[in-house]
Amino acid sequence: MRKIVINGGRPLKGEVTISGAKNSVVALIPAIILADGIVTLDGVPAISDVDSLIDIMVTMGASVKRDGDSLEIDPRQVQSMAMPYGKINSLRASYYFYGSLLGRFGKATVGLPGGCDLGPRPIDLHLKAFEAMGAQMTQEGNAMHLEAETGHMRGASIYMDTVSVGATINTMLAAVRASGRTVIENAAREPEIIDVATLLNNMGAHIRGAGTDIITIEGVEKLHGTRHQVIPDRIEAGTYISLAAAVGQGVQINNVLYEHLEGFIAKLEEMGVRMTVSEDSIYVEEQRELRAINIKTAPYPGFATDLQQPITPLLLKAKGRGMIMDTIYEKRINHVPELAKMTAKISSTSHQIIYEGPNQLHGAAVKATDLRAGAALVIAGLMAKGRTEITNIEFILRGYSNIIEKLKNLGADIELVEEA
């Protein structure tokens, strides 16, 4: 068993550089299947989700070379094969193999996705889009088999009943090599969608409108190799900004795109967080008194659901009473009882979290229930008096590149401990 051990109460200072976006790269890697040449990604984060995706790509026949944060993939020998459940059941982003395999081969058999347990996250929207484009679906045990009736996907007009990042990206993947035009209405607008569309266009795709709610794709017969720089991870950036405001004595966060974080930063300013925003970095000062605020998550460009957990420990320092409402994932409240173990004045009912502060947290034995809850507990452990032990840390390592090293460089007393 592995755990993270933190001796809290130490002020942090210095600089930290944000890695490439996890939520981009988990779609970019499957997208490479669509190419007829070598694709290199730069800025790939060192996270376990990337390791899992590489294993899957190699199993399917791809040649993969990794050098630091660069990843070179030759997909020309990839075969459309059934992926066993055990290969992908810990990886939510496994569903992107549906779109890329359908786009290249006209068929796909992939195990049902896993990942963090955040309540219902159905892939109905994905399947509805694939069916509109001519795919037929059958379920085979723990896997789903999809196959185009004509052996080739065809363009279609698709309206997303709910704004969905995953379904928007998956539809793009299936559409770029389809015959004819595909129009996605009520599309998600997240930066990660623009990143995937940029890669595909650099490979020779014809995608217009990424970043708006209407995306138009003209299918092409072939895509070629290219080189692509992954965008900075806005969720990692928000996590370190929250951490710096909570326990920092002057921390600079580098490789940040402010425009990807405007909704988040607006809430920090409402709290009274003092910071200086530059072209590609944010300097967070040592904080004085902070004000309690209310937060309601929303699709981009609103306050990201992935940032409501990492900001929660910072809210516990604020004076007053506030509320967080997550409208995206109903179970994104699992960090609340763990923070309560650390003597936080916090409670939850359904989508709503109520907190009151300021709090002095105390170290405790806690458990990461999902990726962003784990990040919240790391920040809380750094804020707390005494020793905090976090178990179930595989969730944290799924999405935060070199987190132990980065925090140590800021002065944190933190260790990853292996136990028999």
Contacts of 227 (CB under 8 A, 6+ apart): 39, 40, 41, 42, 202
Annotation-wise, does 123 bind a ligand?
yes
**What is the rounded CA–CA span in Å between residue 143 and residue 214?**
31
Contact between residue 151 and residue 179 where contact means Cβ atoms under 8 Å apart: no
Annotation-wise, does 18 bind a ligand?
no
Catalytic residue among 21, 108, 116, 200: 116
Annotation-wise, does 87 bind a ligand?
no
Annotation-wise, does 74 bind a ligand?
no
Annotation-wise, does 208 bind a ligand?
no
**What is the rounded CA–CA span in Å between residue 36 and residue 77?**
9
**What is the rounded CA–CA span in Å between residue 199 and residue 178?**
17
Strands 70-74 and 107-111: unpaired
- Catalytic status, residue 116: yes
Strands 352-357 and 281-284: unpaired
Annotation-wise, does 341 bind a ligand?
no
User: What DSSP string runs through 59-90?
Assistant: HTT-EEEEETTEEEEE-TT----PPPHHHHTT
Contacts of 349 (CB under 8 A, 6+ apart): none
Annotation-wise, does 213 bind a ligand?
no
**Tokens encoding 332:** 């994104």
Can you tell me whether residue 350 is helix, strand or coil?
Answer: coil
The b/e string for 239-258 (b: 16+ C-beta within 10 A; e otherwise) is bbbbbbbbbbbebbbbbbbe
Is the bond preceding residue 301 a cis peptide, omega within 30 degrees? yes
**What is the rounded CA–CA span in Å between residue 201 and residue 211?**
14
| CA nearest to 308, candidates 292, 291, 327 | 327
Annotation-wise, does 177 bind a ligand?
no
Annotated binding site: 22-23, 92, 121-125, 306, 328
Annotated binding site for phosphoenolpyruvate: 22-23
Annotated binding site for UDP-N-acetyl-alpha-D-glucosamine: 92, 121-125, 306, 328
The catalytic site residues sit at 116
